[in-house]
């Protein structure tokens, strides 16, 4: 690390040349003016000089450009800030391996949409093999035993199923937010689990949906909240983190 420079520029073929390559489309018919427009955009992006090396019409009234050029920006490595996820993102294979080696049994997950919410989009995206955005759902993980109860599940049914399936984790999806239904339902659910099972025996309670505030875990009485755009891989990685890696570390 000690020899690494703190201030760097992009690298084309010579240190410090600052060369980058970008491509973009403008909603402009392809002509000389369009190429000028592309240069203008590149200049505003800090690319100067900018070379439009390729421009081609794309459908009606659109032009696609490839631009090479030198950026005048510097990168200060000492000022780079990244927000680290508080758990490691694991591949499906790694998730399976950790469960197999350290839990030595299948990890049981029960999922449902509770209350009157009939939108199974969220729970199915996370649980169905089909998954979402090219990522397979939790059913795909060999070491997870998934029970998807579907929509309009009552809280007592959910608690009963969690007990019967010896759930390590309960996943609840809430899409409908009218009159804060998602918050009421979640509180009702977490209270029911607190009442039905002693602290050490309760499954991990996870709730997800597009309108949750991820910082409200304490207020809602759950262990984790996942918001919009969560993938099955993130949920699986969290399960391994919370139920195996972290728990063992604390023990």
Binding footprint of other proteins on the chain (CB under 8 A): 23-25, 58-60, 62, 64, 119-121, 124-125, 128-130, 132-134, 136, 139-140, 142, 148, 150
Cβ proximity to other proteins: between 115 and 193 the closer is 115
Q: Compute the distance between CA of residue 224 and CA of residue 115 in angstroms, rounded to an integer.
A: 19
Closer by beta carbon to other proteins, 3 or else 59: 59
130 catalytic residue (yes or no):
yes
The DSSP symbol for 79 reads: G
Minimum distance, C-beta of residue 128 to other proteins, in the bound complex (Å): 6
Neighbours of 8 (CB within 10 A): 14
* 128 versus 190: smaller Cβ distance to other proteins: 128
Is the four-CA dihedral 211, 180, 153, 242 of positive or negative sign?
positive
Select which of 44, 93, 130, 166 is catalytic: 130
* Shortest distance in whole angstroms from residue 182 CB to other proteins: 17
| Minimum separation from the CB atom of position 214 to other proteins (A) | 20
Give SS3 for 228.
coil
Backbone angles phi, psi at 100, to 5 degrees: -65, -45
- Here the tokens at position 122 are 């969220």
CB of 196 to other proteins, least distance (A): 25
CA distance 51 to 156: 66
β-pairing, 144-148 with 47-57? unpaired
Please give the Cα distance from 120 to 244 (Å, whole number).
28
Alpha-carbon distance of 12 to 35, in angstroms, equals 23
* Identity of the residue, 61 or 156, whose beta carbon is nearer to other proteins in the bound complex: 61
The minimum distance between CB 209 and other proteins, in angstroms, equals: 13
166 in Cβ contact with 122 (< 8 Å): no
Query: Could you check whether the bond before residue 49 is cis, i.e. omega within 30 degrees of 0?
Result: yes
- Give 148 or 186: the residue with its C-beta nearer to other proteins: 148
Catalytic residues: 130
């Amino acid at each position: 690390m000690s020899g690494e420079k703190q201030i760097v520029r992009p690298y084309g073929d010579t240190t410090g040349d600052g060369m980058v390559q970008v491509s973009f489309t403008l909603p402009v018919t392809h002509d000389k003016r369009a190429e000028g427009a592309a240069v203008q955009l590149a200049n505003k992006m800090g690319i100067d000089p900018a070379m439009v090396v390729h421009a081609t019409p794309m459908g009606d009234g659109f032009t696609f450009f490839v631009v090479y050029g030198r950026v005048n920006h510097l990168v200060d490595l000492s000022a780079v800030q990244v927000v680290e996820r508080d758990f490691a993102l694991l591949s499906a294979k790694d998730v399976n391996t950790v469960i197999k080696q350290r839990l030595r049994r299948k990890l049981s997950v029960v999922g449902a949409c509770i209350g009157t919410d009939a939108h199974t989009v969220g729970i199915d995206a996370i649980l169905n093999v089909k998954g979402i955005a090219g990522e397979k759902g939790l059913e795909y993980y060999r070491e997870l035993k998934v029970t998807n109860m579907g929509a309009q599940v009552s809280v007592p049914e959910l608690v009963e199923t969690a007990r019967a399936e010896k759930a390590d984790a309960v996943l609840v999806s809430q899409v409908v937010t009218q009159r804060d239904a998602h918050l009421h339902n979640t509180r009702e659910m977490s209270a029911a689990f607190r009442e039905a099972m002693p602290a050490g025996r309760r499954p991990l309670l996870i709730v997800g949906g597009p309108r949750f505030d991820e910082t409200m875990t304490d207020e809602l009485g759950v262990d984790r909240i996942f918001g919009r755009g969560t993938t099955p891989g993130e949920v699986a990685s969290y399960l391994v983190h919370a139920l195996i890696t972290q728990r063992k570390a604390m023990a």
